[in-house]
Structure 1
């Protein structure tokens, strides 16, 4: 069986099979950025600087495991979908808050 056929979209996009070092780094950076976006949109609260740094440190370390899984599984693709859903949710929530603010005034 050909490995190229089994790669996820982002792994194939970054050509992990042809250039593993650069491809894995690009996949890792993509997963880290998408994880931070999903975390900020869905779960983040205002925290002191040290606590936030610890959380982001563990998030970045956890993305290492996700990167190895993301070569054959749709990890980055799932993060893109989660980010899109959370962006739509935040936009609708802001619109609803503005409407309630206009009705109260």
Structure 2
């Protein structure tokens, strides 16, 4: 079964397959970290934050393998990041509105 990954195809056509894994890994790591920060991060100490991001980096190595098999992992992370950013923006907007009009 062939899955079509737009980002995989773009990187392959534009830059070749020489650094495909590391390019997808960096993209997955960036969007995974942003998604974590927007949706799931809590206030943690510096040491715990470092551990979380190290484990995220290790986990993204495994997830990137699925991107190499042309599953739409990177695209899913991008969509997740966009949805969480919209959610956070609206939540912030509603909190500001509520503070302006305390009824």
Q: Which runs of 5+ in 1 are unaligned?
A: none
1:36: which partner in 2? 33
Give me the TM-score of the superposition, normalised by structure 1: 0.86
2:12: which partner in 1? 15
Number of residue pairs the alignment of both structures matches: 100
Higher relative contact order (CA 8 A, sep 6+): 2
- Cα 1:62–1:102 change in 2 (3 A) is same
What is the Cα deviation at residue 22 of structure 1? Answer: 1.1
Q: Which runs of 5+ in 2 are unaligned?
A: none
Give me the TM-score of the superposition, normalised by structure 2: 0.88
